[in-house]
Amino acid sequence: MIYVVITAVVLMIVGVILLNTVGDFPDVMGGILIFISSIIFVTIPFLGYSWVAAKTKAEIINREYGTHYTREEIFYANDVIDTIQQIKRKRIEVSGDLFKDTVK
């Protein structure tokens, strides 16, 4: 995440330098770089929140289901993990006995 912030800052600095250069091409490139870095700065808070929330979600899932998911797995593959859990839940419900795996 810090590399994304550093990249956005560098893009912003290069964009400002290009805007202060004489000529049409540097002005256009400077505007494009500043626009891209602005989009990155707007996107970072949303990704940052999801990154922090992924750790808590991983802890809860690991505690409840006895798994060993990491923050990265939850952040990048959240939909896949949820789909797998839904498939497992449906398979247990189809068999008709919700406690089949826990009580023997």
Q: What is the DSSP string of 18-59?
A: HHTSSSHHHHHHHHHHHHHHHHHHHHHHHHHHHHHHHHHHHH
Instruction: Convert the pLDDT of each residue in 14-41 to its tens digit.
Output: 999 998 888 889 889 999 999 999 999 9
Instruction: Convert the pLDDT of each residue in 47-61 to its tens digit.
Output: 888 888 999 988 988
Q: Give the pLDDT confidence score for residue 29 in this predicted structure.
A: 92
Residue 27 is assigned to a structural domain of this protein: yes
Residue 87 is assigned to a structural domain of this protein: yes
Q: Give the pLDDT confidence score for residue 38 in this predicted structure.
A: 92
Number of domains present in the structure of the chain: 1
pTM beyond 0.75: the answer is no
User: What is the C-alpha radius of gyration for the chain, rounded to an integer number of angstroms?
Assistant: 23
CB 30 within 8 A of CB 17: yes
- The amino acid that residue 44 corresponds to is I
Residue 104 is assigned to a structural domain of this protein: no
Residue 84 is assigned to a structural domain of this protein: yes
Domain boundaries, position 35:
2-95
Residue 37 is assigned to a structural domain of this protein: yes
> Does an H or E element contain 15, and which?
helix 2-19
